[in-house]
Structure 1
Amino acid sequence: MIFTILIFAIIVIFAIYSFTKLKSKPASIFPKHWHELLIKHVLFYKMLTVEKQMIFQRRIMQFLSEVYIEGVDIEIEELDKILIAVSAVIPVFGFREWRYNNLSGILLYPDAFNEDLEFEDQAHSKIIAGLVGTGRFEKQMILSKKALYSGFENNNDTYNTGIHEFVHLIDKMDGITDGVPERLIEHPYVIPWLKLIHKEMEAINDNKSDIRNYGGTNEAEFFAVASEYFFEQPGLMQEKHPELYRMLVACFHKN
């Protein structure tokens, strides 16, 4: 209980800080040595042209100027900031400009946590790797550092917790997290999108899909899980789920 109250206090500080400082804070200059860290840890960035890498760098710094990042029982390191910012930029890199107006602060935990936002002495219930806050935690995101790093360590899987949570934020920008991101999908395509979601969810729940089982939970989780797959293994998705691949290409404005 005390731990949860402490987290709530930190989030209140987030809100005050973001209101008074962050929105007017200019973006810093991209540190040159971050380029090598990005090349080493982020395949998406490595595959970009030099020109687009420079754009990506600016987008990272813009994001970091708008969001406050705080560690819980850990010190925030450079790579923590980089991987969080990368997770935010990748899904919206196809857009000329993007602002996460529904996010002001991010709490980075050392490991997974439970529904009470506790991770100490809760080994049996450490089940959450990331979440987008609601209610008193509105405009906040909580991420597990271990899960964040894991998402960028294996380039052969379809998992990325950071991207997953930022896709939830994108979905939520129309006011509700329902798997239908109105900022991305034009109205005439909403019904075809929902039909496709339900078709793919049915395949997941019948054990006839390689999309991970969590995507069968509901429409919002399907969108986030499918987006992880799309950005981690686009070629594989194009081969195994061509219709879903084409729809996500259109959603994210991605070539």
Structure 2
Amino acid sequence: MSVRKGAPALLSAGTLCAALLLTGCAGPAVPSAPAPTTATADGARPRPGPPGGGGSVPAPESRLPGVGPVTRASVPAGTSQVLLVTGATPDSNTSTATLHVRDRTGRWKAQAGPWPAHNALRGWTADHDAGDLRTPIGVFRLGDAGGRLPDPGTRLPYDQDEQFAVSGTGFAGEPLEGSFDHVIAIDYNRVPGRTPLDKERPLGAEKGGGIWVHVDHGGPTQACVSLDRAAMRELLRALDPARQPVVVMGPATELAR
């Protein structure tokens, strides 16, 4: 049974992150492969982006912390909400995620986080391929959500479906059950405005897909980004389609370009 909430949103085009749904982000360890050039939130070529303050809500900054001019140029002009996911190195599988919002004066401030996160087992890539065990670097739209559990109160279209159920173990032998209780589709190699379960891959199946932000299972992913359950639910409730949210993600050195 599937319950799709909300009207589909449009934007750029973008493995299913579901370990058992496709080549997902949370499957058991397997040999890796290369990776695709990430499409940006506005259909242009991809680029990086970092994190920033959280809880204590620091003073607003005129620019996203750690984001250089190349990456900044890929953030759509109409976007005023950015999930910044930054890895320490190109090969690290742990990262930090912070949600930033831009005010009417154009200054950015942390809205939620920072949260600890996991990304792919082998780190990051600017040219993702299915099975390479690396997370795409770039700027990507966040517009569609779903999960096995009911909508926790997001303004994004939300698809509740039993197909989000997953089992098995991750790279560290940790259980994957519950990883897809809540997910947000990252618009990499996908058709915007559809359930995260949709399997159409505009760039071709070899370039991977089904890359999500989902509930953390305690270890590296295959290509997705994962947050602990409380952070995931907080993020879902905070994202506002009217702000044209995107994720800016990659290693710190790339995002600073």
The structure that has the greater radius of gyration is 1
- More strand by percentage: 2
| TM-score (structure 1 length as normaliser) | 0.30
| TM-score (structure 2 length as normaliser) | 0.30
Higher relative contact order (CA 8 A, sep 6+): 2
